[in-house]
Amino acid sequence: MKNYLLTLLLLFTCSSFFMAQEVIIKVDSATGSRLIIKGEPLIIKMLNDKEICNKSTKTSSTSSSTPIVKTKPKNNSPKSVCGRRNDIPGFMIKVAEAKSEQDINSLLNNFRSEFPELRVEKHYLRPDWRLLAGDYFKKESAQIDLRRIRRNFPSAVVINWRIYCNRAK
């Protein structure tokens, strides 16, 4: 039994050496690193001939591929973006932070007098109060208002926040 197992092991080891695999070593031109590819000689030949890599430009009648159908771009209205949810991840402008509610109320009144067209709200996140303005889907859409706000409130920044779809820009 022991001789039988040794013979089987020797046969298996020898057969792995006789597998017909070809080795290709390619050098990357940008970094100079080596890429080693091992494979069947027929597959390596096809890769070198670029039969697999290139798609044929001719379409045959026996082709099973389906034609590409172009669709109209969807309207990205707030209703289509939000679906059934009223609040989604978005962006708001953090105008200022204050330690007390009295300070944030005075900042709120100043902000409303300077920018009556922007919606503003206050949030308490321990240990500070935050004054947040606007609702924006994208950070880029908040940049226009941010530039205007920074003239009066230089510490204003755009932050990630949950926004209400029906009010967002």
What are the extents of the domains in the chain? 20-53, 82-167
- Report how far apart the first and last C-alpha atoms of the chain are (Å, whole number): 80
Instruction: pLDDT tens for the chain, 169 residues: list them.
Output: 778 788 877 777 766 666 556 677 777 766 777 877 777 777 777 777 765 555 555 555 555 666 677 777 666 555 566 666 677 888 999 999 999 999 999 999 999 999 888 889 999 888 899 999 988 888 888 898 899 999 988 999 999 888 876 666 6
Q: 82-167, which class in CATH?
A: alpha beta
What b/e string do you get for 120-152 counting C-beta neighbours within 10 Å, with b at 16 or more? Answer: bebeeeeeebbbbbbbbbeeebbeebbeebeee
